[in-house]
Amino acid sequence: MFRRVVQPSPKLWVPWTPVSRAYIHKVAQLQSVAQQTVSPVAEAGAGEFSKQKPFDHVPWKEPVSTTGTVRFFGKTTDNKAHTLNFKKGEELQSNLGKGEELDVKITDLRTYEPPVSLSLEGVEWVQHPTVLTEEKLLDANKAESDAFVRSHYFDECAALVKEKSGAATAIAYNYRHRRIETGTNLFDPLNFSNKPLSTMHMDNDAKTAEVNLRRVLGDAEAERWLSKHWGIINVWRPVGVTVHQWPLALVDSTTFSRGDGATTPIYTKNNYKSHFTGLTFNPEYKFYYVSNLGTDEALLFVDFDSEPKGNLIGMAHGAFEDHNGPADAPLRRSIEVRCLVLYDD
């Protein structure tokens, strides 16, 4: 399903060991205390450092990285447009051909100073306890589970996104519960919709984002907003257990180009939208993730922006194999909620 691409091995410091959430929080407390005894060089420069561009960090503290395998879409088997049919049993299920996979350096945003933000980098991770429990999400009564997510959890996500983005209005409108079960094949395109997507992609482009704008606001109100500043922000979080298996990687938007075959639409049938956008590999890409993301944390990232700063139209992302993750990691379960954001009126 994937063609292996070999790159020169990056020099990395990889510090993974199995740790508890309590240990992680204890380390954070110790780091806070340690800030009172930083080196003279760091102390002298701390008040002077300011970011000149996205993903800048203080020069005296190199962020920690891991290595992982990332995957990209390749050509189709019939040289036609990439297509996925979500309805089983129909003649054409998929014409996706062999993709590319390669090992890359992936930088841990948890160790970044100063922290990244939605406004500059297009991604931000936050400590944010939630009303959504694994029991609520896995309720045997699917209608009750869906109703809880669409009411209580949607309200929580909308409030969080409004606070962090500075938008005048945030409206949660869509969610996807992704999970890995025993025996799940992440590389099988015919069983696709509810498992982590292991190929780098973007959820929306200008066309599908406008469809969502109209779906949420109605045509008349959407027409008014098309000339204003609006966007879509994704709230991604683990459910039940900390993520050690197949964490989410994001592509640095400053290294991402949309020309020269860098992206390709993946058309979908029997789905809520016409297509999403797949990436083809570029050696200039830089990758980021948040290690050991817990159930009391959330990862926010820009899905689409009608008035992008620089190249930040939306963050490309996908699940990756962390080479330093534990072999006996619990099966990953996550939920993502997409929020429409309206910045001015």
Tell me the one-letter amino acid at 327: A
Residue 233's alpha-carbon distances to 165, 204, 282, in angstroms, are 9, 11, 25
Q: Are strands 99-108 and 2-5 parallel, antiparallel or unpaired?
A: parallel
> How many other C-beta atoms lie within 10 A of the C-beta of residue 197?
21
Are the C-beta atoms of residues 71 and 2 closer than 8 Å to each other? yes
Which of the two residues, 36 and 328, has the higher pLDDT score? 328
Which of the two residues, 80 and 132, has the higher pLDDT score? 132
For the residues 76-80, what does the mean pLDDT come to?
A: 82
For the residues 181-201, what does the mean pLDDT come to?
A: 68
pLDDT above 70 coverage of the chain, percent: 76
Residue 36's alpha-carbon distances to 24, 26, 29, 61, 115, in angstroms, are 20, 16, 12, 15, 18
Q: Are strands 82-85 and 263-269 parallel, antiparallel or unpaired?
A: parallel
Q: What pTM, to 2 d.p., does this model score?
A: 0.82
